[in-house]
Amino acid sequence: MVLNKMKSIKRNSGFTIVELLIVIVVIGILAAITIVAYSGITARANTTKAQTNAESIQKVAETYNADLGLYPTQAQLSAYTTGSAQLPTGITLLAATLPTSANGLTSADYVAKGTTGGCIGWWNFTTSAVVYTFVGNATAGGTGLAGSCT
């Protein structure tokens, strides 16, 4: 009788392989959901930062126009500093090169369109494409930056 009790205790003391596999599958599913959610959050955060950088560039160009009566070239915009109107630290204006996912957090392209405005190209990490912010009277659809600014 004692021997039978010991055998039954031995058999009931662990988990079966099926139970362990179910736990592993559930953990894998939860990990996959977490990874997908995290990558989406990161892309949205990076897009917001790139968009904020573009808006900062736009404000500096508008301030330049208010001060001097015309919109700056890329070189003039890079060198322009007056009070709080200057490009944020770490922002690079690319020379006729579109930003990519590799440099989109720290760079944007600014193309002056005469004295009437300009166009800022920045990388959208959510859609994986360049998006344009216009300055002054510049509009989409012309022959400028990659055919998207006039």
Residue 148 lies in a domain: no
Helix (H) or strand (E) holding 44: helix 17-68
Q: Supply the pTM of this predicted model.
A: 0.70
Q: Can you tell me the distance from the alpha carbon of 72 to that of 111, in angstroms, rounded to the nearest whole number? A: 9
- Which residue matches tokens 């939860």? 30
Segment 2-20, tens digit of pLDDT: 656 656 555 667 889 999 9
Domain count, the chain: 1
Per-residue pLDDT tens digits of the chain, which is 150 residues long:
565 665 655 566 788 999 999 999 999 999 999 888 887 888 899 999 999 999 999 999 999 888 888 888 888 888 887 766 788 788 888 877 788 888 888 889 888 887 788 889 999 998 989 988 888 887 765 444 444 564
- Given its phi and psi angles, is residue 91 left (phi above 0), alpha (psi -120 to 50 degrees) or beta? beta
DSSP state of 88: P
Task: Please compute, for residue 72, the number of CA atoms within 13 A of its CA located in the half-sphere on the CB side.
Answer: 25
- Which residue matches tokens 């126009």? 65
Residue 149 lies in a domain: no
- The 3-state DSSP class for residue 123 equals strand
Residue 90 lies in a domain: yes
124: domain range? Answer: 2-143
